[in-house]
Amino acid sequence: MNSPRRIQRASQAIALIAALACAPISSAHQDEPLAELDFIPPAPGTYTLHRIMAAPEGRVLGIDGRPQPLSRYTRGQITLLGFIYTTCIDPEGCPHAYRVFDALKEAIVATPSLHGEVRFVTLSFDPARDSPDVMRRYAGSRVLETDGRLRWYFLTTRSARELMPLVEGFGQDIRITFDRSGARPRRELSHVLKVFLIDRTGDVREIYTSTFLYPRLVLNDIETLLMEDRAAHRKK
């Protein structure tokens, strides 16, 4: 069972998320407020997050340019991972995910019970353009330490060869399409917005698309995983 204090903290975080969702998020990408939930979501711990698949392994580059195994960023803490391109312009795509991450960051930083429990990972699809330096500039102040409350990692890969196992492993579809509406066919790189919630053991437990990427739902899921951890700890 959950202690009243934990439930209270979770409730505070959820209340904060609700407030953030209704308020414009200060972001370099978008100024529009995030959509509000049009339903009452199930309470944390009242549903099961299945082990959908293991997060894939591969090599990534941090903003310092040093290669690391991706598992360094997907194990030991609850991880929220999203793929982006720094040149992405679709408001319903990468910038939307970024705004949700920003809203979640504020809520987590303001909720002591979540400090040190969660990390964010933003991984580029575009190794040709998104070098570690580009990712550093893209991250701006978000990459700074937050006194152990929340770390947000901005990663890229050295090459398509190193990226593809990650893309494939997550089931993150990327497709080349041709826009033939203009005088010359234009190649486009299309993808479905997906954000992955990964537990401490490296298993993907939820996949959010834009239709279900609400800060409140993500926070509920994080709390559900924490409750699962606590229950497992009590059994030991």
Partner 1 sequence: MGNIRVFRAIGMLAMVCVGFTAAVRADETCNSPYIAKLIKGQEDYVYVWTLGVEGLGDASDKLVTVDVNPKSKTYGKVVHSVSTGARAEAHHMGFTDDRRHIWAGGLSENRIWVFDIATDPAKPKLVRTVGDLGDRSGYLGPHTYYALPGRMLVQTLSNTKDKGGVTGMVLYNNKGKHLANYAMPTEQGGDGYGYDLAVNPKKNVLLTSSFTGYTNYMRPLGELIKDGEAMKKFGSTMVVWDLKAIKPTKVLAVPGAPLEIRWSLNPKDNWAITAAALTSKLWLVRQDAKGEWIAKDVGAIGDPSKIPLPVDISITRDGKGLWVNTFMDGKTRYFDLSNPEAPKQTYEKVTGKQVNMISQSWDGKRVYITSSLLANWDKGGADNEQFLRGFAWDGKELTQKFEVDFTQEKLGRAHHMKLGSKALRSSAAGG
Quick one: which H or E segment has residue 8? Answer: helix 4-22
In 3D space, the residue among 41, 8, 10 whose CA is nearest the CA of residue 213 turns out to be: 41
x/- letters, 18..57, toward partner 1 (CB under 8 A): --------------------xx-xx---xxx-xxxx----
* Sequence letter at residue 106: E
Shortest distance in whole angstroms from residue 105 CB to partner 1: 21
Q: Encoding tokens for residue 194? A: 């997906």
> How far apart are CB 92 and partner 1 at their closest, in Å?
4
Nearer to partner 1, 112 or 179 (CB): 179
3-state class (DSSP) for residue 109: helix
Judged by CB under 8 A, which of 82, 127, 132, 215 binds partner 1? Answer: 127
102 binds partner 1 (CB under 8 A): no
Among 204, 218, 226, 227, binds partner 1 (CB under 8 A): 204
CA distance 152 to 79: 10
Shortest distance (Å) from residue 112 CB to partner 1: 27
Rounded Cα distance, 36 and 7, in Å: 22
Nearer to partner 1, 67 or 112 (CB): 67
What is the distance between the alpha carbons of residues 125 and 98, in angstroms, rounded to a whole number? 15
Q: According to CB under 8 A, which one of 60, 80, 81, 94 is a site residue for partner 1?
A: 94
For the segment 146-165, give every residue that binds partner 1 (CB under 8 A): 159-161, 163-164
1 binds partner 1 (CB under 8 A): no
- Torsion over CA: 158, 27, 222, 53 (sign): negative
HSE of 32 in the Cβ direction (CA atoms, 13 Å)? 8
**Which of 90, 112, 137, 231 contacts partner 1 by CB under 8 A?**
90
- In the complex with partner 1, the residue whose CB is nearer, 129 or 137, is 129
One DSSP character per residue, 213-236 reads --HHHHHHHHHHHHHHHHHHHHH-
**Which is closer to partner 1, CB of 22 or CB of 144?**
22
167 binds partner 1 per the rule CB under 8 A:
yes
Burial 174-210 (b: 16+ CB within 10 A, else e): eeeeeeeeeeeeeeeeebebbbbbbbbebbbbbbbeb
Whose Cβ is closer to partner 1: residue 142's or residue 194's? 194
Query: Which residues bind to partner 1, rule: CB under 8 A?
Result: 38-39, 41-42, 46-48, 50-53, 85, 87-90, 92-94, 96, 126-129, 159-161, 163-164, 167-168, 171, 173-178, 186-194, 204, 207-212, 217
